[in-house]
Each structure stands twice: as structure tokens, then as C-alpha cells.
């Protein structure tokens, strides 16, 4: 009815969100990771659920509570995240906020690596799958695919290049030249084919609501 269209504009939609870092095992006790807190992705999942969507949140290792009404799938590595994303399809919208590790150790030692008094071995790396680009090229591609890009410089040109390279609809470019990683506010530019929508720096939950509003408008 009229009221639900206004207050729950994503009712009947399935929104898939990835969030947080990934951990890439070196041995049973060590891993490679990054500084993502997961806050922005969790805020987007929460805002989409508030807007009435069914939400699947594929979360890397973070210490955050599951937002109300959100179905959460916990993963550790990029390859586990890729599988969980595939399993969550079909979706109307995908918002890939996770800071996926670009590389993983080429081999995982099955026992703790010990010091032996000699020079340490260099750590050989392998490239992880690009979850976003794979999804965008998939026959099961959601109608609206949105990536995030954290950049320290030339934010908009880098985001535009990324949008074209990954064949995604929107890139939300995050200016991380300040102290954004782990902080509570973000300054983002939503880069689309039609142009760039720059939002003022605001708390991450407000960025999430602004993005969800634009997603609802795009689907309407």
C-alpha cells in the first residue's frame, strides 16, 4: 500500500552486502589482514533492512553485532567470501563493501611455522579472486551492482576507472586520506555512468541511509 511504499521502499527486494576485512591464513595461528572495521558495511545492511529489504550480510572477521532483521553469514578468507556471495544469489542489489585481501599466502602451513635460527623464508603470495568483478560478469548478476573503493588520492578518477574495469553500476568512492579506517564518519562520492554525487562528510549510518535512498530510487 501507499504507506509501505513510502516507509519500506525496499520491501520485496533481496539486498546482498559484504563487509569487513578478510583473514588469509599463513599457518594455524597467523594471518594477513587489513584495517577494515566493517562499520560502513554493517550500517548499509542495517539501513537496507530498515527500508524493508531482505538482507544477507556476508561478514569477514569483525567484532560487531548483527543488525536487526539481517541474515548474517560469517566468513574468514576471500575465497570463503566468494563462495558465500555465490550461495546468497539471486539478489536484486549487491553492495560490496568488504575490504577483500588482494593476496593470500600461496600455501598454508598445516603446523605453526617455527623460528630455527636462520633467515626467514620469504612469504609467497597468490592473488585472490575479485568477488565484485566476478559477480558483475556472472549470468546471475544482480540488477544493481555497487562496489566501494577506498582511495587516498585522485579519488574520483580512480573510482571511475574501477567502475569501468569491474563493469559495475556504481562505485562509492571513499576518501581515506584522513582517519576514516575504523572511524565513525565517511566522505563519499557516488560515481555512476551519469555523473558523480558527492556527499558531505557524515556519520557512517547517515552515509548508509543516503545510499539506501538512492538504491530505492534507482529500483523504483
Q: Report the residue closest to Ca ion, judged by CB.
A: 102
- Biggest CA-to-CA distance, the chain: 72
Q: How far apart, in whole angstroms, are the C-alpha atoms of residue 64 and residue 67?
A: 9
Contact with ligand CTP (CB under 6 A) among 100, 180, 212, 215? 100
Q: Which three cell numbers stand for residue 203?
A: 556519520
By CB under 6 A, residue 98 contacts ligand CTP? yes
Residue 27 touches Ca ion, criterion: CB under 5 A: no
- 149 contributes a contact to ligand CTP by CB under 6 A: yes
Q: Could you tell me the three cell numbers for 206?
A: 547517515
208 binds ligand CTP (CB under 6 A): no
Binding mask 102-141 for ligand CTP (x = CB under 6 A): x-------------------------x-xxx---------
Distances (CA, A) of 176 to 7, 101, 159, 205: 32, 17, 13, 17
CB neighbours of residue 105 within 10 Å: 17
Asked if 128 is an active-site residue, the reply is no
> Which residues lie across from 174 on neighbouring strands?
150, 188
102 binds Ca ion (CB under 5 A): yes
Q: Which residues would be at the binding site for ligand CTP (CB under 6 A)? A: 18, 78, 96, 98, 100, 102, 128, 130-132, 147-150, 162
List, by residue number, the catalytic residues. Answer: 34
Amino acid at each position: 500500500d501507499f504507506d509501505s511504499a513510502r516507509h519500506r521502499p525496499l520491501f520485496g527486494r533481496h539486498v546482498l552486502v559484504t563487509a569487513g576485512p578478510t583473514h588469509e591464513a599463513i599457518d594455524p595461528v597467523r594471518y594477513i589482514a587489513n584495517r577494515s572495521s566493517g562499520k560502513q558495511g554493517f550500517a548499509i545492511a542495517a539501513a537496507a533492512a530498515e527500508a524493508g529489504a531482505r538482507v544477507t550480510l556476508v561478514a569477514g572477521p569483525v567484532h560487531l553485532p548483527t543488525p536487526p532483521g539481517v541474515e548474517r553469514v560469517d566468513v574468514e578468507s576471500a575465497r570463503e567470501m566468494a563462495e558465500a556471495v555465490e550461495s546468497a544469489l539471486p539478489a536484486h542489489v549487491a553492495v560490496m563493501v568488504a575490504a577483500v585481501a588482494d593476496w593470500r599466502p600461496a600455501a598454508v602451513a598445516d603446523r605453526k611455522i617455527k623460528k630455527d635460527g636462520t633467515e626467514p623464508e620469504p612469504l609467497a603470495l597468490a592473488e585472490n579472486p575479485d568477488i565484485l568483478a566476478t559477480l558483475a560478469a556472472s549470468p546471475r548478476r544482480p540488477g544493481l551492482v555497487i562496489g566501494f573503493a577506498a582511495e587516498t588520492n585522485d579519488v574520483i578518477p580512480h573510482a571511475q576507472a574501477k567502475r569501468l574495469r569491474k563493469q559495475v553500476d556504481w562505485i562509492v568512492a571513499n576518501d581515506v586520506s584522513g582517519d576514516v579506517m575504523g572511524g565513525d564518519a565517511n566522505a563519499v562520492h557516488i560515481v555512476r555512468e551519469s555523473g558523480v554525487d558527492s556527499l558531505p562528510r557524515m556519520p557512517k549510518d547517515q552515509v548508509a541511509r543516503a545510499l539506501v535512498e538512492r538504491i530505492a530510487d534507482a529500483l523504483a
